[in-house]
Structure 1
Amino acid sequence: MKRIVRLTIILIIALYLLMACSKKEDKEMQSVPETDQVTLIEDKKKHSDTPLEEERMDIQIWTVNDLKYMDEENHMTNYLEAKYQVTIEYLPRPVSDADWGVKVRLDLSSGNPPDHFSDVTPQDYEKYFNQGIIREIPEDDINIYAADYMAWITQHLGECPFQNVRDSEGKIFAMPKPWTPASSARVLAYRKDWAENVGVTTAPRDLVELEELFIKLSKDDPDGNNQDDTYAITASGVHVDRLMESFGFVFGAYNVYPGIFTVNSGRVIRGELEVGAKEALTTLNRWYEMGLIDPDFMVNKPVNFDEAIYTGKAAGGVWSWYQFVPEGVFHGGKYYEYFNGKVEFEILEAPVGPDGYSGYIEPSPYLNVGLIFFNHVSDNQLKKYLQIFNDGAFDLETHLNIQRGIEGVTYKKVTDVHGEVFYEWLPPYDTKEARYEFGTGGLATIGTWWNDYDFQEPFIVAPEFREMNKELSTRSAGRYDELITISKPIYNEYKEKLDQLLAENYIEFIVGLRPLDEYDAFVEEYKAAGADKIMEEAQALYDQFNKIGN
């Protein structure tokens, strides 16, 4: 029976894909069996024939901010309510996307669904769609009320941006929300002062030069304390994704990307099944045996990774490039700021391997399916949401009021000698507390956020760091999971087991608990544990997708 259900779901997904880019007249959504949850949600439906421009309506905005700032005196609230004729209810949004998803599921089960949710996972999206509890988002409405979003999403996803979120009739049920910097985020960085202390002033370009540097950073007392207590790199091994990213620069040097689905010439690949993975692990095992890698990497959580850098245990490691530079270059800056700017980090392009390959294992820019609306949202409410979300992300006046406040009161517009525009805070609003009290600057973005970083640059990149941003934001290159937004029920069934098997064995190969001449045996074990089945499913889904593209 489970097999029949899985095949049915795959066929449904295939139908979504077959309808990509199709435009059909709106029809009523086909009926689905009602559950108690569906009935509770249907009871909350709102109907209105009032023209959009004349109707004042209630809307909800998720926020990560302390609700004490989000009152009737808040500038952002006053501005949005007056401009769009709405009354805002703020919903507390958990910081973690996973926790947010849990909250929404609890709200649904209690019969109190939110109007919208912008970080829905492929699994939850499929479930909500099959339950019939999310509503269509008419393409005409997107074109009219979110035209800037449509231009932006088409720029990044091509002419068929909704191909994975259409039903068999071509109706759209979600709005994708890629985080575009993700696919060029991960880098290997190390302390420049330590490298200079051991006589290295140029960045290594290949694995041979990198190994020479790693030896010096681990053996030549780079911190000058006359103790043998440093390692070249640390890593976080408690989760398979972070483990693979931590050593992705080594795998990329052998042209393999374990733990993710990539596609080469129409063939879906998992790097752990490829020959190059054994060569990469051989390099990592040698480095571990030489004492170049933090020996605690396999139990390190992200916080332990940070501590290893802060305490001088390790010279560096792999994480997002913008965490190793001043905060004004982009978001983040935590490692640079921790040392109060007294420590600079060398940020490397992926080192080249013996056959000329290089690359990092990157997070996908498509972290989730995107924005959905639940069934009780009326047509006019939907249009209003699209209008507000679009303007908040792409309209300069709206964005300024949300992120900077009032010109001449909270900020002033400045044009530098190069003609670059930026917005400078005016006292007392040069402090976060004052800005939050006023109701602007760093407050949670409105509901969902579509990040056009060309548009947002004057808001998030300090003028003196703009060239650095342009250079570093393109330094990282690699591969990310290319099938992440497509629901893969067979993969979901085996994922936990395969992740555990992959992480445990890779750690054992690296630290020498399992000899590398058993790698082929591991591959056969991995296939027998379900890898063969997930690869068959992934190839079938990709082939279906590829037919649409042609």
Structure 2
Amino acid sequence: MFVNKKRWVSSALAAMMAVTLLAGCGNGSSDQASQPGNGSTVSEEGGENAMGKPKLMFWNLDGNAEADSYGVTALKEKFDIDVEFVSVGREAFKEKLNLMIASGEIPDWWKEPSFPEYDKFLQQEVAAEVPQDLIEEHMPKYVAWLKRYLGDDPFRYVRRDGKIYGLPVLWDIGIDGMQLGFREDWLKKVGIAKKPETLEEMEAALTAFRNNDPDGNGKKDTYGITSSAESIGSLYSSVFGAFDVYPSIFVEKEGKVVRGEIEPGAKQALEVLHRWYKNELIDPEFVVNKASNVEDKVLTDKVGAIEYYWWAFIPGNAFLGGEQWYDKLKQKKADFNWAISPGVKGPEGKYGMAQYHPSFASGVMFGKQLNDNREKLIKYLQVFETTQFDPEMYEKLNFGEKGKTWNIGEKGTVQFIPPYNDEKERKRAGIGGYSMSGSFNDYDFQTTYTSEESLRQLAKDTRAQGTRNIDILAPFNKPIYNEYQDKLSQFTLQQYVDFITGRQSLSEFDNYVAKWKSMGGDKVLEEAQKVYDENFKN
């Protein structure tokens, strides 16, 4: 996994998608000033306008919200509400929120604080309780979405002393997003008839990719695989998975919480990687690669295997829309294809890759003033449910008026009607890309507008083969881990690079483990076990 991968990919998705459906997930930045948007003002006393309608506030983080757009107008009519937008750039959002709270001007709601920040807001007593029965009554589709990825008790991560103070948010495609792609056209070129299924078969393929001129240019200028050394999780997760270890995440084995980077299996994986590096199967620039360098090497035919998100390995119109790696390479080579794997099997038949816990942040919190305004709280719940999970309102906000600005085309995807096929015209009309909640992206639902009907099964089948090796403690507050995380991660990253490149002998692995523990790792593991026991053991 590349460092900050969710952030990088989420921003990239918005740029790639022709109709900008998923803007609520992105984490881009904006330099716009912090001010009320589109002529609206800060909420009037009592939260009502002069007509007595409840006034609901929404954050305008990307400058693309229009109070009189077709979708927002329909929303106001449906719920008999008035709407105001508070505009602030994404980079300045947290500062703006903290200033508002410090001044006593607590906003009605805010989105996606980290779990430590969530607990901080509770300590400050600025958040309202959101009763579970209220959520289930007014957000049934949202609750069903949560349960698909979090199980029967999706509120466990935001419940404190039996009460819920936030609406959980998910990045649902992170739970099984990472897979391993091999250049299938290269496999055929070097005489390999099937996708590698074991570590040994993978090594044979990478060796051929390096030595047998798979791109046919007569030069020895290709490598088996590359990666980025920006984070531990970026370093060849499938190789570690073949030994059933997952560096950088907490996993449970027989009731004990472990970290993959210090397990014996990690040493075995590093031995393989060192051999590959010594035999020139690994791109030597992996040490300095950034995410953009990795992408460039994939798209310029420099490597034959890569770990990345599965949707990059299939046509863009099968899932998110726009051009993916598959499309860009297919344009260059008609016989191109990816052979996609969830990971190759190790000596004991284990395989897999480290993934993201879907609960990457706590969710949406509401200001304490809504404790005394149940009607307004319910309105927010209804608006968030309708705008993110109801097709009719979702379409109005994202595409405008059906039959006038858009229709579903022959292939089952949204097609804008001229002049609205011009992005500038859509922007002038306030169409597309604004999410009232800024959260709650159900990709199974949203991609029905971006994926061609004939390709949807391909996306489902590809995703289904992914493993779900997630950090089981990611949503829980771990103060000791937070204190030592950066130091331990940087230490491990440097040690791993040295082990792979041979700057340090793997005979020193046990010394690395001992030092990791002495640097605070032992305290981290002790805390992790306690958190696990408190939350998972009956």
TM over 0.5: yes
Q: Does 1:505 align with 2:495?
A: yes
Q: Structure 1's 364 and 164: CA in aligned 2 closer, same or farther, altered over 3 A? A: closer
351-360 or 405-414, larger mean C-alpha shift = 405-414
Alpha-carbon contact 1:61-1:446 (below 8 Å) kept: yes
**CA distances 1:58-87 after superposition (whole Å, capped 9, x unpaired):** 3233345444xx334422222222222333
Q: Structure 1's 436 and 172: CA in aligned 2 closer, same or farther, altered over 3 A? A: same
Alpha-carbon contact 1:205-1:349 (below 8 Å) kept: no
Match of 1:456 in 2: 446
Aligned-residue offset at 1:485:
0.3
**Structure 2 residue corresponding to 1:253, chosen from 236, 242, 251:** 242
Match of 1:227 in 2: 219
Match of 2:12 in 1: none
Match of 1:541 in 2: 531
CA distance in 2, matches of 1:476, 1:187: 6
Aligned-residue offset at 1:336:
2.7
Q: Structure 1's 174 and 199: CA in aligned 2 closer, same or farther, altered over 3 A? A: same
506-515 or 106-115, larger mean C-alpha shift = 106-115
Within a 5 Å distance, the mapping from 1:287-302 to structure 2 comes to: 287-302=276-291
CA distance in 2, matches of 1:504, 1:516: 13
Counterpart amino acid of residue 518 in structure 1 = E
Alpha-carbon contact 1:55-1:85 (below 8 Å) kept: no
Q: Does 1:520 align with 2:517?
A: no
Match of 1:440 in 2: 431
TM-score by length of 2: 0.84
Within a 5 Å distance, the mapping from 1:54-453 to structure 2 comes to: 55-63=52-60, 65-67=62-64, 70-92=65-87, 101=94, 104-105=97-98, 108=101, 114-168=107-161, 170-240=162-232, 244-331=233-320, 333-339=323-329, 341-342=331-332, 343-377=336-370, 378-413=373-408, 423-441=414-432, 443-453=433-443
Counterpart amino acid of residue 436 in structure 2 = I
CA distance in 2, matches of 1:428, 1:493: 54
**CA distances 1:324-355 after superposition (whole Å, capped 9, x unpaired):** 32221222643234446444322223101111
**Structure 1 residue corresponding to 2:474, chosen from 484, 488, 492:** 484
Q: CA RMSD, aligned part only?
A: 2.7
CA distance in 1, matches of 2:389, 2:227: 38
Q: Structure 1's 106 and 299: CA in aligned 2 closer, same or farther, altered over 3 A? A: farther
Q: Structure 1's 538 and 471: CA in aligned 2 closer, same or farther, altered over 3 A? A: same
SS at match of 2:270: helix
CA distance in 2, matches of 1:324, 1:112: 47
Match of 1:468 in 2: 458
CA distance in 2, matches of 1:64, 1:337: 31
Alpha-carbon contact 1:134-1:374 (below 8 Å) kept: yes
Aligned-residue offset at 1:103:
5.5
SS at match of 1:459: coil
**CA distances 1:398-445 after superposition (whole Å, capped 9, x unpaired):** 1221233222212335788xxxx765443443444443333334x132
SS at match of 2:82: strand
SS at match of 1:538: helix
**CA distances 1:338-383 after superposition (whole Å, capped 9, x unpaired):** 4464443222231011110000111221111111123345433322
CA distance in 1, matches of 2:226, 2:103: 44
CA distance in 2, matches of 1:228, 1:111: 65
Match of 2:24 in 1: none
TM-score by length of 1: 0.82
Aligned residues: 490
CA distance in 2, matches of 1:301, 1:113: 40
**CA distances 1:291-333 after superposition (whole Å, capped 9, x unpaired):** 1111111221211211222333323411111123222122264
Alpha-carbon contact 1:249-1:350 (below 8 Å) kept: yes
Alpha-carbon contact 2:245-2:265 (below 8 Å) kept: yes
396-405 or 370-379, larger mean C-alpha shift = 370-379
Aligned-residue offset at 1:172:
0.9
Match of 1:12 in 2: none
Alpha-carbon contact 1:45-1:376 (below 8 Å) kept: no
Structure 1 residues not aligned, in runs of 5+: 1-43
Alpha-carbon contact 1:148-1:390 (below 8 Å) kept: yes
Counterpart amino acid of residue 381 in structure 1 = K
Counterpart amino acid of residue 71 in structure 1 = E
CA distance in 2, matches of 1:313, 1:109: 53
Percent identity between the aligned chains?
33
Q: Structure 1's 155 and 131: CA in aligned 2 closer, same or farther, altered over 3 A? A: same
Counterpart amino acid of residue 362 in structure 2 = V
Counterpart amino acid of residue 505 in structure 1 = Q
Match of 1:5 in 2: none
CA distance in 2, matches of 1:290, 1:105: 53
Alpha-carbon contact 1:194-1:222 (below 8 Å) kept: yes
Q: Structure 1's 104 and 316: CA in aligned 2 closer, same or farther, altered over 3 A? A: farther
Counterpart amino acid of residue 375 in structure 2 = N
SS at match of 1:268: strand
CA distance in 1, matches of 2:531, 2:451: 40
Counterpart amino acid of residue 121 in structure 2 = Y
Aligned-residue offset at 1:56:
1.9
Aligned-residue offset at 1:199:
2.6
CA distance in 2, matches of 1:460, 1:189: 23
**CA distances 1:235-275 after superposition (whole Å, capped 9, x unpaired):** 111233xxx24411000000111110011232111112211
